[in-house]
Amino acid sequence: MTSFVYPVWLEAQADGGFVVHIRDFFDAATQGDDRAGALRAAADSIGNWIDMLVGDGETVPTPSEAQANEVLVAAPLDAAVLALMHGRMRELGISKSELGRRMGKDERQVRRLLDPHHGTRLKTARAALDALGIEVSLGVAA
């Protein structure tokens, strides 16, 4: 099972707020005024890293195991779906044209689907996941 939930550690700042360290993404860091804000910023940062890596045709890192001082932060849903599609295409060695053929779409539509800056409807993303043989289950936490 593939997961896009990454360990991060929060560093309290003397003047308030937190710096969040995300080691799985090249030791990236972000910050927030409070714990909740810092964790939201971490999720946004993870999503931005995934978008950038997929846009550059690079591999999205697998989450490492959390250490005792770390908490888990999930990637935003759109970034996780994008990473799933991109990873599976690389694994299968298929092109955008081939994915389009499997979906009954043209390559232009698949390019938009895999563009992190293009808003893709969930129905279209689900069709791509189906065409790639990926079953998705969604967990929701408050």
Level-2 CATH architecture, domain 5-74: 2-Layer Sandwich (3.30)
The pLDDT tens digits for 104-119 are 988 888 888 888 777 7
Residue 31: the pLDDT is 96
Tokens of 17: 């707020």
The pLDDT tens digits for 10-50 are 999 999 999 999 999 998 999 999 999 999 999 999 999 99
Residue 68: the pLDDT is 94
Residue 5: the pLDDT is 94
> Averaged over 99-105, what is the pLDDT?
90
Tell me the pLDDT of the chain averaged across its residues.
88
The string of DSSP codes covering 6-45 is EEEEEEE-TTSSEEEEETTTTTEEEEESSHHHHHHHHHHH
> Averaged over 110-138, what is the pLDDT?
77
Give the three-state DSSP class for 97: helix
Domain ranges of the chain: 5-74, 77-131
What pTM did the predictor assign? 0.83
